[in-house]
């Protein structure tokens, strides 16, 4: 069973939505515009959002209803036979997993977790949400984070990262920590900066595209 994991296609989305609501088609973001014989559907979608509108009245409503972004993604993906497996939210942080229906019977031990790092761990405007699961015998953990901003606060971002690693825990002793999983995917608005006095943003973008 474990050998099958290398054939699974996993699609990640990370997006700081800046408190905006979904207004445009999400098909391009999900790479669904050109589905044909040469473009195979992803088996799993992990969608990590930051700064989803999180006023008190929104948080109360989200106890009973999906946030607008999650609802929009679900409406698009259900047309391709995806099922929403789990959502985890911490104020403006949201992480969703969608799975093709054919894989659902192979999912096990799904858990979610969150860690606050804002205001010394008292506030959830910054922090992490995660979803861990076992699929075809492989343990996987996906972490969506929003770390401390601003150029001069690099040390605070590193503290955030270590706090998340330390505070996150799951029920299974064998995979009780993030790094105990076979695969860990860390996405989000990490706020780390690229420092290069001689490089412009355009040049950095071109160098990244060359790597890809």
89 has pLDDT over 80:
yes
In order of 22, 32, 39, 75, 105, the CA distances from 79 in angstroms are 18, 11, 16, 7, 20
Reported as a single tens digit per residue, the pLDDT across 64-83 is 678 999 999 999 999 999 99
Whether residue 205 is predicted with pLDDT greater than 90 in this model: the reply is: no
Domain chopping of the chain, boundaries: 10-211
Rounded to an integer, what distance in angstroms lies between the CA atom of residue 102 and that of residue 82?
Answer: 9
Reported as half-sphere exposure (CB side, CA atoms, 13 A), residue 190 has a value of 13
Distance CA(9)–CA(23), nearest Å, equals: 27
The residue with greater pLDDT, 63 or 54, is: 54
pLDDT confidence band for 165 (50 / 70 / 90):
very high
Average pLDDT of the chain to the nearest whole number? 87
pTM for this structure?
A: 0.86
pLDDT the model gives residue 2: 47
Q: Which CATH architecture has domain 10-211?
A: 4-Layer Sandwich (3.60)
Span 150-167, average pLDDT: 93
Residue 128 has pLDDT above 90, yes or no: yes
Residue range 125-151: mean pLDDT, rounded? 94
Taking a C-beta distance cutoff of 8 angstroms, is the pair 74, 66 a contact? yes
Q: Of 94-108, 120-134, 138-152, which gets the smallest average pLDDT?
A: 120-134
Residue 1: pLDDT above 50? no
At 31-48, the pLDDT tens digits run 998 776 556 899 999 999
- Whether the pLDDT of residue 17 is over 50: the answer is yes
Q: What's the whole-number mean pLDDT along residues 129-144?
A: 96
Q: Are 81 and 101 in contact (CB under 8 A)?
A: yes
User: pLDDT at residue 209 above 90?
Assistant: no
């Amino acid at each position: 069973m474990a050998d099958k994991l290398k054939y699974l296609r996993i699609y990640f989305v990370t997006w700081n939505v800046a408190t905006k609501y979904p207004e445009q088609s999400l098909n391009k973001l999900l790479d669904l515009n050109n589905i044909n014989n040469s473009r195979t559907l992803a088996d799993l979608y992990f969608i990590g959002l930051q700064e989803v509108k999180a006023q008190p009245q929104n948080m109360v409503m989200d106890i009973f209803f999906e946030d607008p972004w999650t609802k929009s993604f679900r409406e698009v993906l259900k047309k391709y036979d995806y099922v929403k497996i789990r959502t985890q939210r911490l104020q403006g942080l949201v992480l969703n997993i969608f799975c093709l229906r054919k894989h659902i019977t192979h999912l096990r031990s799904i858990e979610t977790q969150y860690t606050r790092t804002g205001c010394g761990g008292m506030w959830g405007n910054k922090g992490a949400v995660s979803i861990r699961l076992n699929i075809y015998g492989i343990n996987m953990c996906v972490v969506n984070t929003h770390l401390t901003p601003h150029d001069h606060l690099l040390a605070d971002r590193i503290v955030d990262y270590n706090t998340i690693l330390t505070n996150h825990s799951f029920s299974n002793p064998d995979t009780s920590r993030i790094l105990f999983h076979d695969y860990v995917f860390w996405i989000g608005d990490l706020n780390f900066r690229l420092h290069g006095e001689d490089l412009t943003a355009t040049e950095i973008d071109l160098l990244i595209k060359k790597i890809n």
